Structure 1
Amino acid sequence: MSAASAFRDRTGLSLPPGVARHVGLLSVLLLIGLFTSLNSEVFLTTPNLVNVSQQVAVVAVLAAGLTLLMTAGGIDFSLGAIAAVSHAVVAKLIQGGMDEWAAVLVALALGTAIGLVNGGVVTVFSVAPFVATLASSTILTGVALLLLDGMSVSIGDHLAVLGFGELFGAIPSLVVLAVLVCLAVGVLMRWSAFGRNAFAIGGNESAARLSGIPVVRSKLLLYALGGFLAALGGVMLVARLGAASPGTGGLPLELTVVAAVVIGGTSLHGGSGTLVGTVLGVLLLGLVANSLNLLQIDPVYQDIAVGTVLMIAAIVNHQRGRRT
C-alpha cells in the first residue's frame, strides 16, 4: 500500500495527484528537518536557512534542465563541467576588462553551444548519451583547469547584485532566479507542446517519430537548454563565490544533480517525471548535507548518506516503472 493510500484510509481524505506522488519524499524531508531542529538550535535560524537555500539554488537550476531531458529518455553527465567552464570564462573575461553582463552572455552562449554539440553527437552519430556526455565532461573539466591555470581568479564586486543581492529585503537573488527557472521549466513541461513531445519521445521514441514529432530537433533543443541552464549555474557559482576556482562544479556537482532528479522520481528510462519531485530531491540533498554539518558528523558520511538515498530512490523508481 502506498503512503498516499494509507493517508486516504486513515483520514478519509485524498491528496492532490501532484502531492500524493511525492508524499513519501515530503515525509522524509519533514522527519529530517524535525530531527535536526531538535538537536541543533542553529537549524531554524534565518542565516542557516538562507545559506541552505543559496547552496541548493545552483543544483536546482541544473536539475531543472536535466529533468526535462531525462523525461525524453536522455541524460547529460557534462552539466557540472559546463558550469565549471562557464564560471571560469566569466571570471577570465571580467578580469580581462570585459563588461560583467557581456561576459555572462558569452558564457550562456558557450553553454548552449556545448549542449548543441552534445545533442548532435547523440542524435546525428547515434552515440549513447551516457558515453557522449561523459567524454564531453572529461574534456570540459580539463578545459576549465587550463583556463584557470590552477589558480583562483577573483571578480571583485562584479555580479554582486546576483551573488549577494536580495529582493523584498530578505530573499537572496540567487534563490529568486532558481525559483523562476524552475517555474518556467515546470510550465514548459506541463503546458507546452515541446514538453508533451519530450514525454512522448521518452515513452516511445519510434512511436513519437511515426506520429510526426520532430525527434531530432526536440533532442537538440533539450540538450541546448540543458547546456544553457548549466552555464547559468556556472554564472551563479562565480557570482556567489566572488571568484572562479579550480575544482568548482565538475563531476561532483553533476552527480548531485543526477541524484536529485532520480530521488525526485524522474524515470531513468524516460516518459515520466515532475519538476516538483526534482525540487524536493534538491531540497532533500541540501537538507541532509546541512544536517550532517550542524550535527558535526564526519563529512565522509555525507557521501554515504547521499549514495544510500540514491540507491533506495533508484530501486523505488524502477519498481514504479514496472508497475506502470
Structure 2
Amino acid sequence: MSVTTRPEAPGRPEKAPGRPRPRVLSVLREVPHTGLIAVLLLVVVFTAVQSETFATDRNIVNILSQISVDAVLAAGLTLLMTAGGMDFSMGGNVAVTAAVAAKLLAGGHATSSAVLVALLLGTAIGLVNGLVVTFTRVAPFVATLASATLLDGVALLVHDGSTISIGTRMSALGNGKVLDIPYLLMVAVLVLLATALVLRFTVFGRDAFAIGGNEHVARLSGIDVTARKLTLYGLTGTLSGLAGLMLLSRLGSSSPGGTAGLSLQLAVVAAVVIGGTSLAGGYGTVVGTALGLVLLGVVANALNLLDFSSNYQPVSVGAVLLVAAVANETHKARASRP
C-alpha cells in the first residue's frame, strides 16, 4: 500500500514563515510612559482650547519655573527610591533650611555663609535619616515621616510665629534670566540631567538599581550597601537644602506654614510615582519623573487659568496620580506580554 500526497494547487505558493507586520498598538507598547504622555496630551489640548493664554511662551516658561523646586527634590527622590529607599522629610528639610538661611540673611550674614550653612544643614538632616534607616532597621517610611513632623516643628520654632524677609538678597537667583530662561529652571534641568547620567552611566547608579532589586544579593556581590545608602540619603538632604535656597530666593521670604513642608513633599512623591519609579525599588526613570512634574504643573496652571477654586488643587493631584498610575501599570502589563 502506497501513500501519495496531493500536489499543491497551482498559484498557491506555500507561505514562508516570517514576523507579522508591526501594528500601531504593538509599536506604542514599546514606547515608555505611553499612558503618562497620553494623559498629559489630553490635559494640554483641553486647556489650550479653553484658554488662549495657556500655549504662550510666557506661560510655558512660568509653568516650568513653578516646578523647578519640585524638580530638584524629585531628582534626589528618584535616585533614592530606585535603591529601595524613601524620604518623606524632604519637604520639612526645605522648610528648615529656608528658614535658617532667611534668619542668617536677615541678621546681616553674608549670602555665601547662608548658602553654605543651608546646604550643610540639609545634608546633615539627610544623613541622620540614613543612619536611622540603615542601623536601626526602622522602615524608611516610618523613620522619615517622623522626621518630617519633627522638622515642620523646628521650622515653626525658627520662625517664632513671624515671616522672615530677606529683601532683595538672592533675588538674582530667584528672578534672574538668561535668554528669557530663569536661573531656577536652569538649575532644575542641570540637576535632573546629572541624576539621569548618574543612573545610566555610573557604577553608583548601577549599584542603586542592584540594591533596590535585592539588597541581600547586592551585598553578597560586593557592594557596600551601608555606604551607598548613607550617600543617597545625604544627597537627598543636600538637594533639599538647594531646593530650600531656591524657594527662598523666589519668594524673598520664609514664612511659617508656607509652601514647603508636607504639601510640597506629597507633590514630589506624586510626580516620582506618576513617572513610573517603583516604590519597591529596583526601577527608576528620570524622564518619567520629569513628565510627572510637568503633568502636575500643567494641571495646577490649568486650574488657575480656568478660574477653578484653589481647593481643587489637592483633588486634581490625587486624581491625576490615580489615573496616571493606572495608565502606567496597564502599559507595563501589556508591554510584558509576549
Q: Specify whether residues 127 and 321 from structure 1 end up closer, same or farther in structure 2 by C-alpha distance, changes over 3 A only.
A: farther
**Is the Cα–Cα contact under 8 Å of residues 262 and 317 in structure 1 kept in the other structure?**
no
**Is the Cα–Cα contact under 8 Å of residues 63 and 298 in structure 2 kept in the other structure?**
yes
Please state whether the residue corresponding to 2:127 is helix, strand or coil: helix
Please state whether the residue corresponding to 1:124 is helix, strand or coil: helix
Does residue 1:10 correspond to 2:24, yes or no? yes
- Whole-angstrom CA distance in 2 between matches of 1:128 and 1:244: 31
Specify the alignment match of 1:196 in structure 2: 206
Please state whether the residue corresponding to 1:297 is helix, strand or coil: coil
The match for 1:257 among 254, 257, 268 is 268
Q: How many Å apart are 1:304 and its aligned residue?
A: 1.6
Q: How many Å apart are 1:47 and its aligned residue?
A: 3.0
Does residue 1:90 correspond to 2:101, yes or no? yes
Give, as a single letter, the amino acid of the residue that structure 1 aligns with 2:189: V
Q: How many Å apart are 1:315 and its aligned residue?
A: 4.3
Q: How many Å apart are 1:228 and its aligned residue?
A: 0.6
Q: Aligned residues, how many?
A: 313
Q: How many Å apart are 1:161 and its aligned residue?
A: 1.3
**Is the Cα–Cα contact under 8 Å of residues 54 and 175 in structure 1 kept in the other structure?**
yes
Please state whether the residue corresponding to 2:303 is helix, strand or coil: helix
The match for 2:171 among 160, 179, 184 is 160
Specify the alignment match of 1:60 in structure 2: 71
- Whole-angstrom CA distance in 2 between matches of 1:166 and 1:187: 25
| Gaps in structure 2 of 5+ consecutive residues | 1-21
Q: Specify whether residues 68 and 321 from structure 1 end up closer, same or farther in structure 2 by C-alpha distance, changes over 3 A only.
A: farther
- Whole-angstrom CA distance in 1 between matches of 2:25 and 2:138: 51
Q: Specify whether residues 250 and 11 from structure 1 end up closer, same or farther in structure 2 by C-alpha distance, changes over 3 A only.
A: closer
Specify the alignment match of 1:243 in structure 2: 253
**Is the Cα–Cα contact under 8 Å of residues 200 and 208 in structure 1 kept in the other structure?**
yes
Specify the alignment match of 1:81 in structure 2: 92
Superposed CA offset, 1:69-112 (max 9, x none): 00011110000000000110110000111111220111001000
Query: Post-superposition, which runs of at least 4 consecutive aligned residues in structure 1 deviate over 3 A?
Result: 14-17, 312-324
**Is the Cα–Cα contact under 8 Å of residues 59 and 257 in structure 1 kept in the other structure?**
yes
- Whole-angstrom CA distance in 1 between matches of 2:275 and 2:51: 27
Give, as a single letter, the amino acid of the residue that structure 1 aligns with 2:198: L
Q: How does 1:64-213 map to 2 (within 5 A)?
A: 64-168=75-179, 170-213=180-223
Q: Specify whether residues 310 and 229 from structure 1 end up closer, same or farther in structure 2 by C-alpha distance, changes over 3 A only.
A: same
- Whole-angstrom CA distance in 1 between matches of 2:112 and 2:40: 37
Please state whether the residue corresponding to 2:240 is helix, strand or coil: helix
More helix by percentage: 1
**Is the Cα–Cα contact under 8 Å of residues 267 and 317 in structure 1 kept in the other structure?**
no
Give, as a single letter, the amino acid of the residue that structure 1 aligns with 2:23: D
Q: Specify whether residues 317 and 219 from structure 1 end up closer, same or farther in structure 2 by C-alpha distance, changes over 3 A only.
A: farther
Specify the alignment match of 1:282 in structure 2: 293
Which of the two has higher C-alpha Rg? 2
Does residue 1:226 correspond to 2:197, yes or no? no
Please state whether the residue corresponding to 2:23 is helix, strand or coil: helix
Q: How many Å apart are 1:317 and its aligned residue?
A: 5.7
Which is worse superposed, 45-54 or 120-129? 45-54
TM-score (norm 2): 0.88
| Gaps in structure 1 of 5+ consecutive residues | 1-7
Please state whether the residue corresponding to 2:296 is helix, strand or coil: helix
The match for 1:21 among 29, 32, 41 is 32
Which is worse superposed, 88-97 or 300-309? 300-309
**Is the Cα–Cα contact under 8 Å of residues 33 and 328 in structure 2 kept in the other structure?**
no
- Whole-angstrom CA distance in 2 between matches of 1:207 and 1:313: 32
- Whole-angstrom CA distance in 2 between matches of 1:201 and 1:92: 39
- Whole-angstrom CA distance in 1 between matches of 2:177 and 2:29: 33
Give, as a single letter, the amino acid of the residue that structure 1 aligns with 2:250: R
- Whole-angstrom CA distance in 2 between matches of 1:318 and 1:105: 42
Q: How many Å apart are 1:216 and its aligned residue?
A: 0.7
Specify the alignment match of 1:5 in structure 2: none
**Is the Cα–Cα contact under 8 Å of residues 36 and 327 in structure 2 kept in the other structure?**
no
Which is worse superposed, 297-306 or 271-280? 297-306
Query: How well do the aligned residues superpose, as a CA RMSD in angstroms?
Result: 1.9
- Whole-angstrom CA distance in 1 between matches of 2:106 and 2:59: 32
Q: How many Å apart are 1:321 and its aligned residue?
A: 8.0
**Is the Cα–Cα contact under 8 Å of residues 76 and 195 in structure 2 kept in the other structure?**
yes
**Percentage identity across paired residues of the two chains:** 58
Q: Specify whether residues 161 and 38 from structure 1 end up closer, same or farther in structure 2 by C-alpha distance, changes over 3 A only.
A: same
Does residue 1:215 correspond to 2:229, yes or no? no
Specify the alignment match of 2:13 in structure 1: none
TM-score (norm 1): 0.92
- Whole-angstrom CA distance in 2 between matches of 1:35 and 1:310: 18
